[in-house]
């Protein structure tokens, strides 16, 4: 009798442990720890398609900074180093994080390093930037980037055939002139650091377009770095099949001609072309478009298979 109870208890205990293990496994099946490290660097970067350079403040020496990607539920462990050769304090502010602003986002001096971590609780496309004073200048000089948090449910959104990140940002001829930034007196608009970067129509020195095949679902992640300008994002000769404000699959809008992305905001835009030809992706505030915020998306049956995939999601 007691022997039977013992074995029944053991069975129950084992079953309980198994169920607990399965539960833990389901709860963390895709959760990972993602280590991200960046170095603030004050270096010269290209400012146009001709290759002219100017001193910028950057994450890892590029404008924009690295594209960060993780999955909903992941823990992101972030390390920021401020290059000892720099002259200024720098910091990072991840819009994908819920944390303490002072300890996580506070500035560090040249030569210092800091760490913080957060869980990626919300899927979507989020802005990150330096928040050191004056923040308007740290962003205008190039300290910005994008982080994609993929939904943990792979079927939460239609599968994209190609993906492109476009970070729109104002450029100022004199990056020392904080008063011009405060007054909104920008001179050009960049996509991924350079005006007309993907538009050989308006700049003969541009060497790339965004590419896809007719019928493919192309997913554009538009991040508006600002610091001040709004972006009304429209695909000339197309319609956004879906728009997801902040990139969250629960925010789906359909059949949109234009959707406004505020400074510091981002959204996911899906487009499908039934025909070969070009769409021009513009900020339809036309001073912005004609100052650099036009990207050509070419639909052709012979589209470069590497574009919009791997390291060509943010083509440099
Ligand atoms: Cu900075």
User: What is the reported pLDDT for 136?
Assistant: 98
Taking the centre of ligand 1 as the mean of its atom positions, its distance from the CA of residue 89, in whole angstroms, is 6
Taking the centre of ligand 1 as the mean of its atom positions, its distance from the CA of residue 42, in whole angstroms, is 9
Within the chain, where are the H helices? 2-27, 101-105, 135-140, 178-182, 286-289
Task: Based on the fold, state whether residues 225 and 142 are members of the same structural domain.
Answer: no
What are the DSSP calls for 221-287, one per residue? EEEEEESS--EEEEEET--EEEEEETT-GGG-EEEES-EEE-TT-EEEEEE--SSSEEEEEEESSHH
Taking the centre of ligand 1 as the mean of its atom positions, its distance from the CA of residue 50, in whole angstroms, is 26
Task: Based on the fold, state whether residues 117 and 189 are members of the same structural domain.
Answer: no
Taking the centre of ligand 1 as the mean of its atom positions, its distance from the CA of residue 132, in whole angstroms, is 5
Taking the centre of ligand 1 as the mean of its atom positions, its distance from the CA of residue 32, in whole angstroms, is 29
Which residue range is the domain that position 52 belongs to?
Answer: 33-150
How would you write the pLDDT of the chain (316 residues) with one tens digit per residue?
Answer: 344 444 444 444 444 433 333 333 344 456 899 999 999 999 999 999 999 999 999 999 999 999 999 999 999 999 999 999 999 999 999 999 999 999 999 999 999 999 999 999 999 999 999 999 999 999 999 999 999 999 999 999 999 999 999 999 999 999 999 999 999 999 999 999 999 999 999 999 999 999 999 999 999 999 999 999 999 999 999 999 999 999 999 999 999 999 999 999 999 999 999 999 999 999 999 999 999 999 999 999 999 999 999 999 999 9
Taking the centre of ligand 1 as the mean of its atom positions, its distance from the CA of residue 216, in whole angstroms, is 38
Whether 233 maps to a domain, the answer reads yes
Taking the centre of ligand 1 as the mean of its atom positions, its distance from the CA of residue 51, in whole angstroms, is 23
User: What is the reported pLDDT for 51?
Assistant: 96
pTM: 0.90
Taking the centre of ligand 1 as the mean of its atom positions, its distance from the CA of residue 61, in whole angstroms, is 12
Taking the centre of ligand 1 as the mean of its atom positions, its distance from the CA of residue 139, in whole angstroms, is 7
Whether 5 maps to a domain, the answer reads no
Total number of domains in the chain:
2
Task: Based on the fold, state whether residues 40 and 76 are members of the same structural domain.
Answer: yes
| Site of tokens 């928040």 | 131
Cβ atoms of residues 131 and 144 within 8 Å: no
Whether 22 maps to a domain, the answer reads no
Domain boundary residue, one of 150, 185, 219: 150
Residue 96 sits in a domain whose CATH number is: 2.60.40.420
User: What is the reported pLDDT for 69?
Assistant: 98
Task: Based on the fold, state whether residues 91 and 218 are members of the same structural domain.
Answer: no
Residues 6 or more apart from 128 whose CB is under 8 A from it? 65, 68, 92, 93, 94, 95, 96, 144, 145, 146, 147
Taking the centre of ligand 1 as the mean of its atom positions, its distance from the CA of residue 90, in whole angstroms, is 4
Taking the centre of ligand 1 as the mean of its atom positions, its distance from the CA of residue 150, in whole angstroms, is 27
Helix (H) and strand (E) counts in the chain: 5, 19
Taking the centre of ligand 1 as the mean of its atom positions, its distance from the CA of residue 145, in whole angstroms, is 12
């Amino acid at each position: 009798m007691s022997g039977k109870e013992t074995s029944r208890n053991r069975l129950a205990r084992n079953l309980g442990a198994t169920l607990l293990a399965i539960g833990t496994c389901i709860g963390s099946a895709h959760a990972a720890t993602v280590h991200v490290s960046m170095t603030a660097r004050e270096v010269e970067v290209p400012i146009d398609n001709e290759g002219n350079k100017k001193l910028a403040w950057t994450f890892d020496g590029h404008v924009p900074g690295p594209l960060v990607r993780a999955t909903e539920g992941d823990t992101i462990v972030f390390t920021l180093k401020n290059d000892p050769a720099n002259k200024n304090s720098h910091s990072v502010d991840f819009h994908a994080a819920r944390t303490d602003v002072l300890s996580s986002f506070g500035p560090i001096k040249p030569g210092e390093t800091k760490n913080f971590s957060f869980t990626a609780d919300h899927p979507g496309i989020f802005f990150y930037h330096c928040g050191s004073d004056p923040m308007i200048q740290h962003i205008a000089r190039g300290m910005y980037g994008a982080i994609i948090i993929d939904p943990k449910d792979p079927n939460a959104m239609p599968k994209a055939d190609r993906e492109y990140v476009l970070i729109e940002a104002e450029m100022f001829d004199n990056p020392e002139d904080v008063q011009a930034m405060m007054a909104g007196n920008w001179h050009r608009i960049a996509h991924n650091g350079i005006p007309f970067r993907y538009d050989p129509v308006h700049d003969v020195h541009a060497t790339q377009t965004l590419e896809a095949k007719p019928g493919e679902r192309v997913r554009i992640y538009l991040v508006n770095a600002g610091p001040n300008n709004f972006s009304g994002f429209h695909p000339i000769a197309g319609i956004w099949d879906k728009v997801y404000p902040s990139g969250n699959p629960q925010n789906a809008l359909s059949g949109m001609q234009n959707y406004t992305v505020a400074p510091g905001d981002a959204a996911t835009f899906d487009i499908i072309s039934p025909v070969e030809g070009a769409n021009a992706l513009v900020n339809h505030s036309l001073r912005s478009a004609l100052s650099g915020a036009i990207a050509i998306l070419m639909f052709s049956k012979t589209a470069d298979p590497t574009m919009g995939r791997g390291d060509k999601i943010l083509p440099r």
